[in-house]
Amino acid sequence: MRRLLATLLIAAGPVALRAQQPSARPSSNTLPAVSPDGSRIAFVSDRDSASALFVIGVDGAGEHRIAGGAVQRGRWSADGKEILVTGAGADSACVVAVNPGGGGRRLVATVPGRNAVLSPDAKRAAYLVGPWRRTALAVANADGSGARFVAGGRDTAWNPAWSPDGKRLAYTHGDSSRVLQVHVVNADGTGDRAVTHMTADEGSAQVPAWSPDGRRLAFQVSNSRSHRAHIWIVDLESGAVHKLAAHEEATLDEAPAWFPDGKRLAFQSNRSGRMEIWVMKDDGSEPRQVTGVRPPRP
C-alpha cells in the first residue's frame, strides 16, 4: 500500500498550463467532478501518457495539475477544501485527499477492492471485488473493516455512486441480456431495484450521478452499434426519463456530473473531435466546451 500511495502522488505538485495546443497524440480529458461551490471542475487527463488529475475553472481559466500516477478519478470533499483521489493496486484501492491547489496529501481510506468511492460523510467506502463478469459491490468502513456485499456477485455491479444522504447507492448493473441498466440499492444491501429500462436499440445505461437533492439520476446511454452516447436523466419518484442534447452523429456524451445548483451538468464529449470536458443545462441546452480551448484573457 505504501508503494501504491507513492505511485499515486508522483509529480503531484501544481503545474500551470498554457492554452492547450494540438499534439501528435491527441489527449483525452474525462471524468469531470464539479466543486461544491460550482466554480471549478476536477478531471482526469492522459496528456502525459499516464492518467493525472487536473483542476480547471468553469470559465476555462486556471487549469493546473493536481496528482499523477495511478489516478482513476477525483471527487470533491463535501466542504470543497480537498479533492479525493482514487488510486488502485492489484487487489486494493486507496483514497488520498489532496489540496485543490496541490499539496496537503493524506491517506483517508484503504479498502480490499477496486474503484473506491467515499460516502458523503467520508466514514465508509463503496468498492468492487471479484472477476469482471461477476463483479460485486461492497461497502466497508474507511479503514476497510466491516466489509459487506450489497449488490452483484452473480451478475455484475460497476460505477457505484452514493446518494447525497449516504443512505443509497446507484450503480451499473449487467446481466446476461448484455444491456446495462442503472440500479439503486440501500447501503445495507436491501431494496435493490432497476431505475432504468433501456432497450437494446437505445443502448446500455451506466455511470449514474445523483442530483444534489437526491431526486434524479443522470447517466449515460451508450450504443456500440451506432457509436453514439447520450446523457439521460431519470426522475426516481415518477420513473420519467428524458434524453439530453439528442444527436444523430457518431458522438459520445458521457460521464455526467451535477453542479450544486441542480440546474447544470458537466460531462465528457468528443463532439469537438477529441474527448473534452463540457457543461450544459439539465434540459440539454447551452452546451459549452471547458477544456481544450484557449482560456479567456484576464
pLDDT at 86 over 90: no
* Residue 15 confidence (pLDDT): 26
Mean pLDDT of 130-136: 90
DSSP string computed for 44-92: EE-TTSS-EEEEEETTS---EEEE-SSEEEEEE-TTSS-EEEEEE-SS-
Please state the separation of Cα 283 from the chain's center in Å.
20
Least confident of 15-24, 34-43, 129-138: 15-24
* Residue 187 confidence (pLDDT): 98
Mean pLDDT of 87-106: 82
Least confident of 65-74, 133-142, 152-161: 65-74
Q: How confident is the model at residue 13 (pLDDT cuts 50, 70, 90)?
A: very low
Any idea what the Cα angle at residue 62 is, between residues 61 and 64, rounded to 5°?
130
Across the chain, what does the average pLDDT equal? Answer: 88
Query: Burial code of 162-197, b = ≥16 C-beta within 10 A, e = fewer?
Result: bbeeeebbbbbbbeeeebbbbbbbebeeeebeebbe
* CA distance readout (Å), 261 to 16, 22, 104, 119: 29, 34, 28, 20
Long-range contacts of 246-250 (CB under 8 A, 24+ apart): 246/284, 247/271, 250/226
Half-sphere exposure of 109 (CA within 13 A, CB side): 30
Most confident option among 18-32, 46-60, 92-106, 180-194: 180-194
| Residue pointed to by grid coordinates 456500440 | 224
Whether domain 1-18+30-111 has CATH 2.40.50.100: no
pLDDT at 73 over 60: yes
Distance between CA atoms of residues 290 and 54, nearest Å: 13
Q: Can you give the residue ranges of every domain in the chain?
A: 1-18+30-111
